[in-house]
Structure 1
Amino acid sequence: MPVDMELQVVASLLRRGRTLDQLSTWLTVLGVLFGLLQLLLITPVTLGVSLSAWLIVVGLLQKYWAFRVAFDADLFALIARDADAPQDRTQALEQALQNLSLQPASRAGRPWSERQRGALKLLRNQAVLLLAQVLPALAVILASPWLSFAG
């Protein structure tokens, strides 16, 4: 597969991180609302407050990874656009990242295959954090006593 096509595929995969971020944002908002509801009750449920705090903290961590993934998606798409001179674009990108203190000089010159693995690892980290939000929320919903009255 040509390098520019690989870069475009990676950029496309990284753009899927936006969907993960949107779901995580909704779960974080749900955590805030659930936490406020627990605080408004006369006797807050410890499990509810803990779940709320968990959803908020993990959601904020996921938001950090989402920013990183989105940034990398844009950079990969930018480099993939100019298939004629990827080396020139790579050097210009590295210089810009170093000027903005976003990359140390020691990380310059890495092959694109290594950069792709790193970017996809960021996407996996984002997905793991989303899973860390979904599973406890789902477990609480399924274990809730009100569920037995619904059906």
Structure 2
Amino acid sequence: MRADMELQVVASLLRRGRSLDQLSTGLTLVGVLFGLAQLLMASVSPICLLLSLWMIILGLLQKYWALRVAFDADLFALLARDIERTADLDQALQTLGLQSPKRAGRPWTERRRGALKLLRKQAWLLGAQALLTLGVILASPWLPFAG
């Protein structure tokens, strides 16, 4: 019963990745809009254009990790209901080419650690994207005229 509860808690934590993904999507759209605005302005600021490009790239990388985290959240929630089906999960993942045969049969502590590592990567990418957004704001040409 303890392992089932741990899997449910991990699944719940992994579902928080959706909130991170939504915030990152907003920042990515800001990067796209800001990049387009830079291209439409009379004087293009290369640093602002570069920063907005990196915001978009980090947003796309974060999106990849968000998909992986969401997939793991679903798997952990499914297996929390019936942990005895771990071998079936490994077989299905191998059949679909999502897991190598030598990784089958790993203990759940290792799987949990790996899944939470994906969530941390997603959070780090969001943090980097937020810092770039701050950089874009501070490097913006209109900032000196704001005050």
Q: Tell me the TM-score normalized by structure 1.
A: 0.91
State, as a whole percentage, how many aligned pairs show the same letter: 71
Runs of 5+ in structure 2 lacking a partner?
none
Alignment partner for residue 126 of structure 1, among 122, 129, 134?
122
CA deviation after TM superposition for structure 1 residue 23, in Å:
0.5
Supply the distance in 2 between the matched residues of 1:14 and 1:136 (Cα, whole angstroms): 25
Supply the distance in 2 between the matched residues of 1:139 and 1:8 (Cα, whole angstroms): 38
Residues 43-62 of structure 1: pairs in structure 2 closer than 5 A: 43-62=43-62
Runs of 5+ in structure 1 lacking a partner?
none
Residue 95 of structure 1 pairs with residue 91 of structure 2: yes
Partner SS, residue 132 of structure 1: helix
CA deviation after TM superposition for structure 1 residue 142, in Å:
4.2
Partner SS, residue 98 of structure 2: coil
Q: Runs of at least 4 residues of structure 1 off by over 3 A? A: 142-151
Aligned partner of 1:104 in structure 2 is 100
Q: Is the 8 A contact 2:48 2:140 kept in 1?
A: no
Supply the distance in 2 between the matched residues of 1:133 and 1:34 (Cα, whole angstroms): 14
CA deviation after TM superposition for structure 1 residue 139, in Å:
3.2
Q: How many residues align?
A: 147
Q: Is the 8 A contact 2:51 2:135 kept in 1?
A: no
